[in-house]
Amino acid sequence: MIKRNLLVMGLAVLLSACGFQLRGTGTQELTIKELDLSARDAYGPTVKMLEQQLENSGVRVHAGAPYKLVLLNEENAQRTLSYTGGGASAEYEVSTILRYEILTHDNLHLLNDKLEVQKVFLHDGNNITGSSQEASETYKEMRRDLIQRMLIRLQLLTPQQLDELSATAEAKARAEAQALEAARKAEAETPRQSPLELPNQ
């Protein structure tokens, strides 16, 4: 028994050393250490779950962070794949799309993208309660998948990449401001024609 326990512990240490983690356990270390998180649905389950997972991953979530992650909208869709049992049951495919963007603290746009997950579940017309529970669990699982995918996206986004995106966004903003100022100067320096005077009748 002791040898077996030692073997299990040894395997666990070995796997964790290789970076392996069971799904839904542990945390993912992120290179981004501060992040401002907001969403259209500020009190929705997705943003709350993401905030918790970010904090579990060592990220300080606060309004003064140098970068902002904004969850723009979350869309759910459902379509019927097949009917079974004389129409009493049906197989459904449900999908969720989460659109987001990342901004600087000064609201310069860095990037925007989307995440999408899909699941299939069976709706039993003879067991409405059970089918409703299964649908609810399916959407919860999809939300967990979305959060995991978002963490992976953030994990791949290094501070160097964010700095480069910020520099590009700042250069673009400066160029636009200079172009606008040049247009204003040109307009101000352009002589204005006096209104045409009509001869007295």
Q: What tokens does 183 get?
A: 């247009």
pLDDT exceeds 70 at position 87:
no
- The structure's pTM equals 0.70
Work out the percent of the chain whose per-residue pLDDT is above 90.
40
Q: What is the dihedral of CA 137, 142, 146, 151, to 10 degrees?
A: 60
The CA distances from residue 130 to 84, 89, 92, 109, 119, in Å, are: 17, 12, 15, 45, 17
Task: Evaluate whether residue 190 is within a structural domain.
Answer: no
Amino acid at position 186, single letter: A
pLDDT exceeds 50 at position 163:
yes
Rounded Cα distance between 55 and 35, Å, is: 10
Please answer whether residues 163 and 108 qualify as being in contact, where contact means their C-beta atoms are separated by less than 8 angstroms: no
Number of domains in the chain: 1
Task: Evaluate whether residue 24 is within a structural domain.
Answer: no
Closest of 19, 61, 9, 4 to residue 37, by C-alpha: 61
Task: Evaluate whether residue 4 is within a structural domain.
Answer: no
Task: Evaluate whether residue 181 is within a structural domain.
Answer: no
Task: Evaluate whether residue 19 is within a structural domain.
Answer: no
Please answer whether residues 134 and 192 qualify as being in contact, where contact means their C-beta atoms are separated by less than 8 angstroms: no
The CA distances from residue 38 to 22, 35, 103, 138, 198, in Å, are: 29, 10, 11, 25, 61
Helix (H) or strand (E) holding 121: strand 109-124
Q: How confident is the model at residue 81 (pLDDT cuts 50, 70, 90)?
A: confident
Judged on CB neighbours under 10 Å (0-12, 13-18, 19+), 147 is buried
Provide the pLDDT for residue 56.
Answer: 93
Task: Evaluate whether residue 92 is within a structural domain.
Answer: yes
Domain interval for residue 89: 29-172
Beta bridge partners of 93: 79, 120
pLDDT tens string 30-41: 888 999 999 988
User: Which CATH number fits the domain that encloses residue 86?
Assistant: 3.30.160.150
pLDDT tens string 112-158: 999 999 998 777 766 667 667 877 888 889 999 999 999 999 998 88
